[in-house]
Amino acid sequence: MSSTLETAANPQILKRIAIDPLTRVEGHGKVTLLQDDNNNIKQARLHITEFRGFEKFIQGRPYWELPVLVQRLCGICPVSHHLAAAKATDMIVSASELTPTADKIRRLMHFGQTLQSHALHFFHLCSPDLLFGFDDDVRHRNIVGVIEDHPEIARQGVLLRKFGQEIIRITSGKRIHGTGAIPGGVNKSLSKSEVAYLQADVQQVIAWAQDAVQLVKKVFFEHYDYHQAFASIESNMMSLVRPDGAFELYDGGLRARDIRGNSIFDHVDYRQYEEYIRENVKNWSYMKFPFITSLGEEDGWYRVGPLARVNNCDFFGTELAEQERIQFMAIGNGLPVQSTLAFHWARLIELLHCTEAIAEILEDKDLRGKELVNKGELVCCGTGVIEAPRGTLFHHYEINDEGIVEKASLIVSTTNNNQAMNESIRKVSSQYLDGNELSEALLNQVEVAIRAYDPCLSCATHAMGKMPMEISLLDANNELIDRLEKNSSGQINRTL
Amino acid sequence: MSTEKTFRLDGRDIPFIEGDTVMDAALRAGEYIPHLCHNPEFPPHGSCRVCVVDVNGRHQCSCTLPADENMDVDNSSEAITDVRRSLLQMLFVEGNHTCPGCEKSGACQLQAVAYNTRMLNPHFTHFFPKRSIDASHPEIVFYYNRCILCGLCERVSRDIDKKSVFAITGRGINSKLEFNSLSGKLGDTELSADDKAASVCPVGAILPKYKGFEVPIGERLYDTKPISVVGDVAANHSAEDSVLGNADEYSSDE
């Protein structure tokens, strides 16, 4: 159920406070708060202030360029876009099954991606809040403060990320924006020396990941009630799961569960995602608002990402992560864990899983195989879905007879969390800001709520040409004298 | 006493035979002069001007200039590199050469020559022309964005393949490559994937269809060695690079 703080009845007479720009998140966004004379919060909105438009300008490009082109959406999780597009183009070239080498190289690349992104988010962006407190001096509450006060934690964070980046470099040629995956497979396998290079550090990396999970648990339990309650909202959760219900990042079926953990849909073939998910647009945001079709706009919004994935899966396929999952789920007392700050905990359990899975996959001789590509007949369209670090990522393309993209549709991970992030900042506003004179420390609480989702705002803005718009003309007494509305199909109507 | 004729290039004696251009003699002697429209297999064209050298105080186009004993050629001073760099910068801003999204990146002669002249930015304001892709041919794609109008495909198609598929039309900044068919589409021309013209492009304008980014980063032509060592794209063209490589997989006979 959505909060009532989305739109104030009379915004003209309210004070406006903007947190602009949001800090320590990927991309650019802002939050606006409207307060009345008694400092009560009447409206809270997360806005995305930048615009991408990839869906439009990849139209007219050849499909075989897509994995390389669309990864430029982002510098943090390019691998996720690279692989989602590669999976979609696999369908276009009818590569229903990859060679074992291609499949494992791609999975390894994706584990590296998730590892480095999660390490970046937790250590570089969020650990200052969690280690020093949300109201710590802003001059100290940053990564430099972490390096000064907790040098070993900072060092481990940097080296965990470095290991993930090295995996990406070795599998795709570059740490950022490589070219490993191509339609139907990959363009290289690993050499013996490359495998040995990664194996040399992997046990140390697993140990650091275990330390990281212990650290986040310590922080969570030190202020247990506060962490449980902070920005906590009740939402549906959606993620991919393996056919046997196990945690999955690269390929699987879609699973959605409601706030009580009951199934909404399960093991859905992601190629049919349009039957299960729709997107809504609102006139104050460049980011769309997806929802589960069967539940409708009002109740169908959901969360994705680490919290949803750990809640939704039946088990982890690796031992240490599974032990941590069991402890994590215990705080929900049989229900899904809804605490927004538990995102951090879930994220580090995933990080641990990635390190274990990397160690496992590095033992596999298929990584050094020579059969790299499978191709079949060319078909008109393809859908690729993957669990990016921030959540479920959808790429869908349609091509013409010449192999040129005619239509592209992307639902980026952060977009899935749009409503949830808005609900979380409204919860924080009600919990801690309502009735108070706003201070930097209080406003940081709003940012803390958003940061928990690890949003990548730059990736998530795609509503080009479909943005509904409303222009109201008011007289000096704030009386509405005229109003024009542009709907999502571009028609303009006078609605007064 | 030797009767071999020579000229001076960067202080070194370069032997030449009657009929050689400065470029011919320099390349044979292992001296690299940056060039784009020149391909030693075919007669010189002198259109890109990137091979400009300073000969006895005058700027000359080395691919068309007959070698002579009295020449003192400057091929590597900062002054002549500046001129080449400016020419390349103009080529870069005139088209849409977005290397990060180009399949040819790492194996592109334009990019490699730009590195050779230590070009670090486009300097001039980008034109951002609105150009399209012609994917109408079953085996070959033409990217108007990347064409530098070197004329190699036009000359080779006319003189070697005897098909005259390509022609540069218009003048000056309005020049463009056109295809010899009633529809104006590449797919309606006589171009075949095994034509010489299909594999002579030094940049990423003419590329095989259904194929992209198959050479890993680190193994591309200019990834580890510069063009002055590796040589031209055309000289390194292999069977794997051929437009025939993947072309027949999806080309239809209908």
pLDDT at res. A248: 98
pLDDT at res. A34: 86
Lowest mean pLDDT among A50-54, A189-193, A205-209, B53-57: A50-54
Contact B133 A60 (CB under 8 A): yes
- In this structure, is residue A29 part of a structural domain? yes
Where b means 16+ CB within 10 Å and e means fewer, A223-243 reads: eeeebbebbbbebbbbbbbbe
pLDDT at res. A50: 65
Contact A187 B135 (CB under 8 A): no
User: Are B222 and B191 within one domain?
Assistant: yes
Rounded average pLDDT over A458-465:
46
Q: Is A174 on the interface with B (CB under 8 A)?
A: yes
User: Are A89 and A107 within one domain?
Assistant: no
Last residue of some domain: B48, B76, B104?
B76
Q: How far is A470 from chain B (nearest CA, A)?
A: 32
Rounded average pLDDT over A424-429:
90
User: Are A484 and A473 within one domain?
Assistant: yes
| Residue B242 pLDDT grade (very low, low, confident, very high; cuts 50, 70, 90) | very low
B95: left (phi over 0), alpha (psi -120 to 50) or beta: beta
User: Are B56 and B111 within one domain?
Assistant: no
CA distance B52 to B42: 19
The amino acid that residue B104 corresponds to is K
User: Are A73 and A109 within one domain?
Assistant: no
Q: Is B218 on the interface with A (CB under 8 A)?
A: yes
User: Are B33 and B112 within one domain?
Assistant: no
Express each pLDDT in A160-193 by its tens digit. Answer: 999 999 999 999 999 999 999 999 999 999 999 9
Tokens read off for A270: 């992601």
Contact B213 A404 (CB under 8 A): no
pLDDT at res. B241: 54
- In this structure, is residue A362 part of a structural domain? yes
- In this structure, is residue B82 part of a structural domain? no
pLDDT over 80 (residue A474): no
User: Are B63 and B144 within one domain?
Assistant: no
pLDDT at res. A283: 82
Query: Which has the closest alpha carbon to B203: B144, B161, B137?
Result: B144
Q: How far is A378 from chain B (nearest CA, A)?
A: 7
Query: Which has the closest alpha carbon to B245: B90, B120, B103?
Result: B103
What residues of B are in contact with residue A182 (Cβ under 8 Å)? 212-214
Lowest mean pLDDT among A222-236, A408-422, A458-472: A458-472
Where b means 16+ CB within 10 Å and e means fewer, A354-373 reads: bbbbbbebbebebbebeebb
More reliable by pLDDT, A142 or B205: B205
- In this structure, is residue B89 part of a structural domain? no
pLDDT over 70 (residue A1): no
How many structural domains comprise chain B?
2
How many residues would you count in chain B?
Answer: 254
- In this structure, is residue A4 part of a structural domain? no
Query: Which has the closest alpha carbon to B194: B250, B243, B127, B241?
Result: B243
Question: In this structure, what CATH number is given to the domain that contains residue B104?
Answer: 3.30.70.20
Looking at residue B215, the DSSP 8-state letter turns out to be S
User: Are B52 and B157 within one domain?
Assistant: no
User: Are A91 and A103 within one domain?
Assistant: no
Whole-prediction pTM = 0.89
pLDDT at res. A76: 82
Chain centroid, CA B204 distance in Å = 10
Compute φ and ψ for A436, nearest 5 degrees: -105, 150
Helix ranges (DSSP H) in chain B:
22-28, 78-94, 109-116, 152-159, 227-230, 244-250
pLDDT over 60 (residue A458): no
Lowest mean pLDDT among A8-17, A103-112, A138-147, B78-87: A8-17
Which DSSP string corresponds to B96-138?
Answer: T--GGG-TTTTS-HHHHHHHHTT--S--SPP------EE--SS
pLDDT over 70 (residue A461): no
User: Are A118 and A207 within one domain?
Assistant: yes
pLDDT at res. A494: 65
pLDDT at res. A64: 97
Taking CA–CA distances from B101, the nearest residue in chain A reads A69
pLDDT at res. A464: 39
Rounded average pLDDT over A92-113:
97
Query: Which has the closest alpha carbon to A52: A461, A361, A448?
Result: A461
- In this structure, is residue A393 part of a structural domain? yes
Query: Which has the closest alpha carbon to B217: A112, A39, A170?
Result: A170
pLDDT over 90 (residue B91): yes
Contact B101 A72 (CB under 8 A): yes
| Residue B106 pLDDT grade (very low, low, confident, very high; cuts 50, 70, 90) | very high
pLDDT over 60 (residue B71): yes
Cβ-Cβ contacts under 8 Å for A258 (sequence gap 6 or more): A236, A264
Q: How far is A358 from chain B (nearest CA, A)?
A: 22
Measured from the Cβ of residue A314, the count of other Cβ atoms closer than 10 Å reads: 12
pLDDT exceeding 90 applies to what percent of chain A?
Answer: 64
- In this structure, is residue B81 part of a structural domain? no
| Residue A437 pLDDT grade (very low, low, confident, very high; cuts 50, 70, 90) | confident
What residues of B are in contact with residue A64 (Cβ under 8 Å)? 210-213
Taking CA–CA distances from B98, the nearest residue in chain A reads A69
Rounded average pLDDT over A238-265:
97
Tokens read off for B170: 């218009």
Last residue of some domain: B76, B106, B130?
B76
pLDDT at res. A445: 84
User: Are B34 and B105 within one domain?
Assistant: no
Portion 388-407 of A in contact with B at CB < 8 A: 402-404
- In this structure, is residue B83 part of a structural domain? no
Rounded average pLDDT over A209-219:
96
HSE-CB at A408 with a 13 A cutoff on CA atoms is 27
pLDDT at res. A487: 56
- In this structure, is residue A226 part of a structural domain? yes
pLDDT exceeding 70 applies to what percent of chain A?
Answer: 90
User: Are A215 and A144 within one domain?
Assistant: yes
pLDDT at res. B247: 42
User: Are B123 and B226 within one domain?
Assistant: yes
CA distance A241 to B26: 63
- In this structure, is residue A348 part of a structural domain? no
Q: How far is A251 from chain B (nearest CA, A)?
A: 23
User: Are B38 and B115 within one domain?
Assistant: no
Lowest mean pLDDT among A316-330, B56-70, B197-211, B226-240: B226-240
User: Are B249 and B131 within one domain?
Assistant: yes
- In this structure, is residue B131 part of a structural domain? yes
Contact B133 A182 (CB under 8 A): no
ipTM over 0.95: no
Query: Which has the closest alpha carbon to B145: A73, A398, A64, A60?
Result: A60
Taking CA–CA distances from B215, the nearest residue in chain A reads A187
Express each pLDDT in A388-406 by its tens digit. Answer: 999 999 999 999 999 999 9
- In this structure, is residue A5 part of a structural domain? no
Query: Which has the closest alpha carbon to A182: A248, A272, A92?
Result: A92
pLDDT at res. A469: 44
Question: What are the angstrom distances between the C-alpha of A312 and each of A114, A168, A291, A305?
Answer: 18, 27, 17, 10
CA distance A287 to A217: 33
What residues of B are in contact with residue A404 (Cβ under 8 Å)? 133, 135
pLDDT at res. A472: 58
User: Are A392 and A304 within one domain?
Assistant: no
Radius of gyration of chain B (CA): 19
Contact B133 A61 (CB under 8 A): yes
CA distance A307 to A213: 14
How many structural domains comprise chain A?
4
CA distance A161 to A354: 12
Tokens read off for A341: 């700050």
User: Are B103 and B44 within one domain?
Assistant: no
User: Are A221 and A359 within one domain?
Assistant: yes
Contact B212 A178 (CB under 8 A): no
User: Are B199 and B146 within one domain?
Assistant: yes
pLDDT at res. B253: 39
Lowest mean pLDDT among A140-144, A277-281, A431-435, B24-28: A431-435
pLDDT over 50 (residue A466): no
User: Are A409 and A438 within one domain?
Assistant: no
pLDDT exceeding 70 applies to what percent of chain B?
Answer: 92
pLDDT at res. A2: 61
Burial class of residue A490 in the structure, from the number of CB atoms within 10 Å of its CB (0-12 exposed, 13-18 middle, 19+ buried): exposed
- In this structure, is residue B85 part of a structural domain? no
Q: Which of A64, A173, A404 sits opposite B133 (nearest CB)?
A: A404
Last residue of some domain: B19, B49, B76?
B76
Is the distance from CB of A391 to CB of A239 less than 8 angstroms? Answer: yes
Question: In this structure, what CATH number is given to the domain that contains residue B51?
Answer: 3.10.20.740
Express each pLDDT in B123-176 by its tens digit. Answer: 999 999 999 999 999 999 999 999 999 999 999 999 999 999 999 999 988 999
Cβ-Cβ contacts under 8 Å for A493 (sequence gap 6 or more): A484, A485, A487
Is the distance from CB of B160 to CB of B196 less than 8 angstroms? Answer: yes
Say what the alpha-carbon torsion angle A437, A440, A443, A445 is, to the nearest 10 degrees: -120
Is the distance from CB of A73 to CB of B100 less than 8 angstroms? Answer: no
pLDDT over 80 (residue B249): no
User: Are A110 and A193 within one domain?
Assistant: yes
Rounded average pLDDT over A290-300:
95
| Residue A473 pLDDT grade (very low, low, confident, very high; cuts 50, 70, 90) | low
The amino acid that residue A242 corresponds to is R
Task: Assign 3-class secondary structure to A79-94.
Answer: HHHHHHHHHHHHHHCC
Note down the domain range covering B238: 95-253
Q: Is B215 on the interface with A (CB under 8 A)?
A: yes
Q: At A430, is the secondary structure helix, strand, or coil?
A: helix
Note down the domain range covering A164: 98-177+188-232+353-368
pLDDT at res. B245: 39
Q: Which of A62, A72, A178 sits opposite B217 (nearest CB)?
A: A178
User: Are B156 and B216 within one domain?
Assistant: yes
β partners of residue A29: A48
- In this structure, is residue A1 part of a structural domain? no
Is the distance from CB of A254 to CB of A326 less than 8 angstroms? Answer: no
User: Are A271 and A328 within one domain?
Assistant: yes
CA distance A171 to A251: 18
Q: How far is A78 from chain B (nearest CA, A)?
A: 13
pLDDT over 90 (residue A446): no
Say what the alpha-carbon torsion angle A455, A459, A464, A466 is, to the nearest 10 degrees: -40
pLDDT at res. A478: 61
